[in-house]
Structure 1
Amino acid sequence: MRPLSYTRAFDVRSAVEIVAAHENSAFLAGGTTQVDLVRLGVHGPDLLVDINALPLADIEEQPGGGLRLGALARMTDVARHPLVAERYVATSQALLLGASEQLRNMASMGGNLCQRTRCTYFRDNLSPCNKREPGSGCSALEGLHRGHAILGTSEHCIATHPSDVAVSLVAFDAVVHTTGPDGSRAIPIDEFYLEPGDQPHVEHPLAHGELIEAIDLPALPIARNSVYLKFRDRESYEFALVSVAAAIEVDGGLVRDVRLALGGVATRPWRARRAEQLLIGGPATREKFVEAATAELAGADVRRDNAFKAELAKRAIVRGLTTLIPGEAR
């Protein structure tokens, strides 16, 4: 058995300093992912720094109508907060669909954003995996890949990002606030997730010892008319084969604004910008939604077992949009 040290931090500065000073260390919040990876031997820190005592669990209204979600706010608390449920409907729904009640009561927002892939080959600690051991290869390419990505892939990795709520946050242009050894910074969430390229083990731009403090949701009236749909093998707690966060504003039968993001199909939460561009200014009809969805999935990198995801993703986009507009467009 490998030794593992544990300590607690009581302020942000101390937490950052402790982790930054120990190369093989990590923050510990809800532990719903971190502890699993330690047990599996996939992630082997020598030191875990418990940050649950830090004052980072508040959900605060911001000037102008946006919200700030503390990184240690629990998924259940955020999902059921009246302002989240009212102003960012898809975010509340994504959180409630993202895990079992027990996990939602423990898991933190910051931890959810940083959770690792559920790829079996990454987690078995035996198979070649470029995320776990750079340069070793990707077993999923020729192995079992039914649940793997068809967008944002590379020859080195086709693992999907597992977060549900991150899909809605990408759709709504959230901003991640961090503090690290070099100070504080704000990272647009669309820049927070990196595609694998030739470095699949680098999943986000956080430096070692850099701590997420909060996630800002900007004031976004369109988010009130939004939905998160999740398609999976079973209705109980399960990861998405395909999911969609959709929001739309229609004026005079034309699409004035639209937000679309996909989960379960890409190596990162996938903002469907091509579909958005095709929709804005056009008619809010099912035919137009199908055209835009088809264009978004045109570049999908499908394989033997996951080719079905392209069609399922198209249908998810159309279903999400038609759910939000008057019945005549369905």
Structure 2
Amino acid sequence: MKRFDYLKAGSVAEAVSALAAHPKARLIAGGTNLVDLMKYDVEAPGLLVDINGLDLKRIEESENGTRIGALVTNSDLAYHPGINRRFPLLASALLAGASPQLRNAATAGGNLNQRTRCYYFYDTATRCNKRQPGSGCDAIGGVTRIHAILGASDSCIATHPSDMCVALAALDAVVEVEGPNGRRDIPILDYHRLPGETPERDNTLSPGEMVLGIRLEGEASPRHHTYLKLRDRLSYAFALVSAAVDLKIEDGVVRRARVALGGVAHKPWRDLEAESLLVGRAPSADAADAFIARLLSGAKGQGGNDFKITLAERVIRRALRQAAAGTPQLQHEKAIA
């Protein structure tokens, strides 16, 4: 770990100013991702801006939705009565991730901005365009079991590791940010990026911007939802493939379908055109087949992760059945319904 300066920010304005003035500055809250990266010499910030003293730890409910402060811990968010009542899909996804100890420290803003867990990104002896732009990607042609099957590029085949963000994508969340040019809202589907030729950019934040909170607006299904996560072991593991499903079903017909995948791309993966194939129909195997064919039409394996395409098909089909039946996956019971 290299030497760095430290600043305890007394206000959002001070934090933003420090980020804007120091290109190598990084925000630190729970530190569950950044400290790991610093230990491995993947990140070497010149300045750590501690934001733990800021007033960003509240969950605020209103008639129109819920606002989650960037410093709300994953545990507080997962067990909040209002979240469990209004957005149980989010609570379920949070409990599927990490461990209780990590959830006690990790924050909503940090989860949103966590970096990939690609083996090659963490190994400074290998080439990685995300870690060192233009150096190449040793993952391509390497060990690819955990890598992307959708939206990858010749520069990067890494995946986004978050469970929370997959649920947020399915719930059409909005990310509130502040920077040198003021505040703005970013729809969650526009927040994370595909790698393209600039995989070092994980999201669409501008220089000097920081996350203030996350808004959940409108409605979510209290019954017809599920977060289904398949991984190499039953806990404390990142998703090989996960699916967050939120359905609105009236009179036996799907009126709204929102489905996001995790573990398959550089960002949580949604296809609004594919979702339209589920709407206006009764939940059925035929509707699921049409949806899956469209959603995974561009899927491409890298050899070691070819199995993920078939696994994704099965995860989506099972998740749609769980949501339609109103039997969401229970995270404290690992058996898949």
> How far does the alpha carbon of each residue in 1:53-72 deviate from its partner, in whole angstroms, 9 at most, with x for none?
000010000332x1000000
TM-score (norm 2): 0.94
1:212 is aligned to 211
Counterpart code for 1:124: D
The equivalent residue for 1:295 is 294
Of 280-289 and 259-268, deviating more is: 280-289
The answer on 1:30 being equivalent to 2:39 is no
Deviation by residue 1:259-280 (Cα, 9 ceiling, x = unmatched): 1000001111111324311111
**For 2:75, what is the secondary structure of its paired residue?**
helix
Tell me the residue number matched to 2:14.
14
Q: Is 1:83 paired with 2:74?
A: no
C-alpha contact (below 8 Å) 1:88/1:226 kept by paired residues: no
In structure 2, distance between residues paired with 1:194 and 1:111: 16
Separation in structure 2 between the aligned mates of residue 313 and residue 87 of structure 1, nearest angstrom: 27
Query: What is the SS of the residue equivalent to 1:68?
Result: strand
1:257 correspondence with 2:251 = no
CA distance, structure 1, for counterparts of residue 273 and residue 266 of structure 2: 17
Between 1:274-283 and 1:158-167, the stretch displaced more is 274-283
Give 1:227 shift. Answer: 1.1
Q: Give the 3 Å change call, closer, same or farther, for CA 326–49 of structure 1 in structure 2.
A: closer
| Alignment partner, residue 55 of structure 2 | 55
Q: Which secondary structure does the structure 2 equivalent of 1:325 belong to?
A: helix
* TM value normalised by structure 1: 0.96
Shift of 1:114: 0.5
Q: CA deviation at 1:19?
A: 2.1
| CA–CA separation in structure 2 for the residues paired with 1:263 and 1:232 | 11
- 2: CA distance between counterparts of 1:130 and 1:51? 29
Give the whole-Å Cα distance in 2 for the aligned partners of 1:4 and 1:260.
Answer: 42
2:171·2:246 contact (CA, 8 Å) conserved in 1?
no
* 1:5 Cα offset (Å): 1.3
Gaps of 5+ in 1: none
In 1, Cα distance between equivalents of 2:49 and 2:13 = 12
> Matches of 2:311 and 2:258 in 1, distance apart?
19
Indicate the residue corresponding to 1:68 in structure 2: 67
Distance 1:42 1:291 in 2: 42
RMSD (Å) for aligned C-alpha atoms: 1.5
Residue 177 of structure 2 aligns to a residue whose secondary structure is strand
One-letter identity of the residue aligned with 1:86: R
Q: CA deviation at 1:310?
A: 1.0
Q: What's the CA shift for 1:223?
A: 5.7
**Is 1:270 matched up with 2:269?**
yes
Q: Which amino acid aligns with 1:82?
A: P
**Structure 1 range deviating more: 26-35 or 247-256:** 247-256
The one-letter amino acid paired with 1:311 is T
How far apart, in 1, do the equivalents of 2:257 and 2:222 lie?
Answer: 10
Residue in 1 that maps onto 2:194: 195
- AA aligned opposite 2:103: R
Letter in 2 for 1:162: P
Mapping for residues 116-131 of structure 1, pairs under 5 Å: 116-131=115-130
1:302 Cα offset (Å): 1.3
Give yes or no for contact 2:25–2:47 (8 Å, CA) kept in 1: yes
Taking the aligned partners of 1:221 and 1:3, their CA distance within structure 2 comes to: 46
Aligned to 1:281: 280
> Following the alignment from structure 1 to structure 2, what is the Cα–Cα distance between the partners of residues 103 and 257?
34
Cα deviation, 1:212-268, whole Å, max 9, x if unaligned, reads 001000121436531111000100200000000001122333221111000001111
- The correspondence of residues 59-208 of structure 1 with structure 2, limited to 5 A, is 59-64=59-64, 66-208=65-207
Aligned length: 327
CA–CA distance in structure 2, aligned partners of residues 204 and 239 of structure 1: 20
One-letter code of the match for 2:289?
V
Aligned residues of 1:87 and 1:224 also touching (Cα < 8 A): no
Per the alignment, residue 43 of structure 1 pairs with 43
Q: d(CA) in 1 for partners of 2:324 and 2:258?
A: 14
Give, as a single letter, the amino acid of the residue that structure 2 aligns with 1:55.
D
Give a deviation string over 1:147-175, Cα, whole Å, max 9, x none.
10001111111100001000010111100
Paired residue secondary structure (2:226): strand
Identity of aligned residues (%): 48
| Residue aligning to 2:2 | 2
- Kept in 1, the 8 Å contact 2:223–2:323? The answer is no
- Conserved in 2, the CA contact under 8 Å of 1:89 and 1:225? no
Task: Please identify, of 310-319 and 146-155, the stretch whose mean Cα deviation from structure 2 is larger.
Answer: 310-319
Task: Return 218-227 or 35-44, whichever deviates more.
Answer: 218-227
C-alpha displacement of 1:324: 2.1
AA paired with 1:308?
F
Post-superposition offset of 1:21: 1.3
